Amino acid sequence: MSTRTASWLAWSLWAVFVVLIALALLLGVITNDVPFSPGAPEARPGPVLTVLTAVLSLAYPTVGALIVSRLPTNPIGWLFCGAGLLYAGQHFTVAYADYALTENIALPWGEYVAWFSSLVEFATPTLGVFLMLLFPYGRLPSRRWRIVAWAALLGAVLAALAYAFKPGPLYLTHEYVNNPFEVVEVIGGGFTTYDLFGGSIVLGLSLLATSTVAALFSVFLRLHRARGVVRQQLKWFLYAAVPLSVCLSLVLLQWTIAYFSTDFLSKTVLILPGQVFVAIITVAGIALLIVPIVTYIAMLKYRLYDIDVAINRALVYGSLTALLAAVYFGGVTATQTIFRALTGQQEQPQLAIVVSTLVIAALFNPLRRRIQSFIDRRFYRRKYDTAKTLEAFSAKLRDETDLNALSDELVGVVRETMQPAHVSLWLRPDSAKRGSQALK
């Protein structure tokens, strides 16, 4: 796959993410409280928290697309894109199932969409394991760590396949929906499919929990051996990886014990109280949203993946788009208000749209230059306006004849562009001229 094709595909996944999240938010707004939410008979998160998490989750496909645009062969970028797509897909399928099953039963496949949304839960810890094993350069620390990757993949497959056919409600996402694909059979000797699938889920969750802890340990090993910039990059990553891995391991352990006790001991045993478990899930969710943010900081501050140009353009044109959109809608609203006050008509005049469009066209280049200057000055100080500074210095160099003035000017240019802790200038004496004078 060429770099251009990979970049196009990554940003297409970004667009799909935005569409799915927008549809999920829309369905959430028009859906009343569902009978049950995961783990407790309560309503799902409120609209403010839902919108906030949806906006923060946009960091996953954005960071992934930036990495893929620069390094299409690095799996880290594709992992971020995949995580974002899974997040958006699950939220959309959960919202669609809630709406189809509680608000509009005429919509098809409500139970099947709910079944699919519950299976995506097992992909999150798997992606986390692979991200910790491969960060930052897309390679395993050594071949020995392949067993951890395969253990995580096998655990996710075992748990997902067993959960897909296990009799009973869909506890992970829709407790009020029974599994539409449940298989209830007696295998032999009193051993049923309920026992088979229950044991498979317990084994799969155990493998996922163990591989999560092992993957976190691999990051600490690399941190111990790393030096310089790589060490700083790993430190930023660990700020989110540590709480995420610890909380995720506790969640998986809780699920493992709960499934084992329910299926084989005929009673449900929980090692963590309800409030503590909810707090752990909340911390895990926050850490999950912070992972792409700390990765972005590592890319921006410590030049991870060497994609300064892509990040620069994303910052500039993202800010420019937001400002122009605000100016456009603000201009339309202001013009419409003035028009109503003067004429008393309630219809929206076409003049408001025309004026706002002309204002945006006039502001585009000035705003872009100002935003570019601010971004360069704030994040790219060493490269800030280099061409302009050298051009101004060259102009003074042509006109200035005083050597001391030129020396001061050169030192000032270095201070402005590079901002060193100390700068000094040494001029080599003209030995050839001195030699000729001595001969005379």
Instruction: Render pLDDT for 104-131 as a digit per residue (tens, 0 to 9).
Output: 888 888 899 989 988 888 888 898 899 8
Least confident of 52-66, 204-218, 293-307: 293-307
Instruction: Name the one residue in this structure whose structure tokens are 């005049």.
Output: 349
From 384, 414, 430, the end of a domain falls on 384
Strand partners, 37: 40
Pairwise pLDDT comparison (439 vs 396), residue with the higher score: 396
CA distance 306 to 299: 7
User: Of 250-259, 315-324, 369-378, 416-425, which has the strongest mean pLDDT?
Assistant: 250-259
**Do 248 and 391 share a structural domain?**
no
* Integer-rounded Cα radius of gyration of the chain: 29
Strands 186-188 and 169-170, sheet pairing: unpaired
Pairwise pLDDT comparison (48 vs 102), residue with the higher score: 102
**Do 81 and 212 share a structural domain?**
yes
From 369, 384, 399, the end of a domain falls on 384
Q: Are 211 and 140 in contact (CB under 8 A)?
A: no
Pairwise pLDDT comparison (384 vs 324), residue with the higher score: 324
Pairwise pLDDT comparison (272 vs 248), residue with the higher score: 248
pLDDT at residue 308 is higher than 90: no
**Do 18 and 137 share a structural domain?**
yes
From 262, 282, 306, the end of a domain falls on 306
Measured torsion, CA atoms of residues 19, 25, 29, 32, in degrees rounded to the nearest 10: 110
* Other C-beta atoms lying within 10 Å of the C-beta of residue 97: 28
Token pair, residue 67, equals 């990495």
pLDDT at residue 414 is higher than 50: yes
376 — pLDDT class (breaks 50, 70, 90): low
**Do 160 and 104 share a structural domain?**
yes
pLDDT at 244: 86
Q: What percentage of the chain has pLDDT greater than the value 90? A: 12
pLDDT at residue 195 is higher than 90: no
**Do 151 and 31 share a structural domain?**
yes
pLDDT at residue 229 is higher than 80: no
Runs of H (alpha helix) within 302-385: 308-343, 350-379
Mean pLDDT of 419-425: 70
Residues of the domain holding 397: 387-439
Helix (H) or strand (E) holding 429: none
**Do 184 and 52 share a structural domain?**
yes
pLDDT at residue 38 is higher than 50: no
**Do 356 and 254 share a structural domain?**
no
- Cα distance from N-terminal residue to C-terminal residue, the chain: 72
Measured torsion, CA atoms of residues 289, 290, 295, 296, in degrees rounded to the nearest 10: 90
pLDDT at 419: 61
User: Who contacts 265 (Cβ-Cβ below 8 Å, separation ≥6)?
Assistant: none
**Do 376 and 293 share a structural domain?**
no
Q: Are 299 and 80 in contact (CB under 8 A)?
A: no
Token pair, residue 399, equals 């006109």
pLDDT at residue 49 is higher than 90: no
pLDDT at 380: 56
Q: Are 82 and 65 in contact (CB under 8 A)?
A: no
Pairwise pLDDT comparison (432 vs 417), residue with the higher score: 417
Instruction: Name the one residue in this structure whose structure tokens are 């802790």.
Output: 421
pLDDT at 304: 67
Query: What values do phi and psi take at 98, rounded to 5?
Result: -60, -45
Strands 174-178 and 186-188, sheet pairing: unpaired
pLDDT at 379: 57
Q: Are 130 and 79 in contact (CB under 8 A)?
A: yes
3-state secondary structure of 214: helix
pLDDT at 33: 66
**Do 334 and 195 share a structural domain?**
no
pLDDT at residue 409 is higher than 80: no
39 — pLDDT class (breaks 50, 70, 90): very low
CA distance 89 to 84: 8
**Do 392 and 380 share a structural domain?**
no
**Do 121 and 15 share a structural domain?**
yes
Measured torsion, CA atoms of residues 79, 80, 81, 83, in degrees rounded to the nearest 10: 80
Q: What is the CATH number of the domain that holds 57?
A: 1.20.1070
pLDDT at 151: 93
CA distance 306 to 137: 12
Token pair, residue 174, equals 């829709």
pLDDT at residue 286 is higher than 60: yes
What average pLDDT is seen over the chain?
78
Residues in the chain: 440
Pairwise pLDDT comparison (144 vs 438), residue with the higher score: 144
- The number of folded domains in the chain is 3
pLDDT at residue 434 is higher than 60: no
User: Who contacts 364 (Cβ-Cβ below 8 Å, separation ≥6)?
Assistant: 320, 324
**Do 240 and 222 share a structural domain?**
yes
pLDDT at 243: 87
63 — pLDDT class (breaks 50, 70, 90): confident
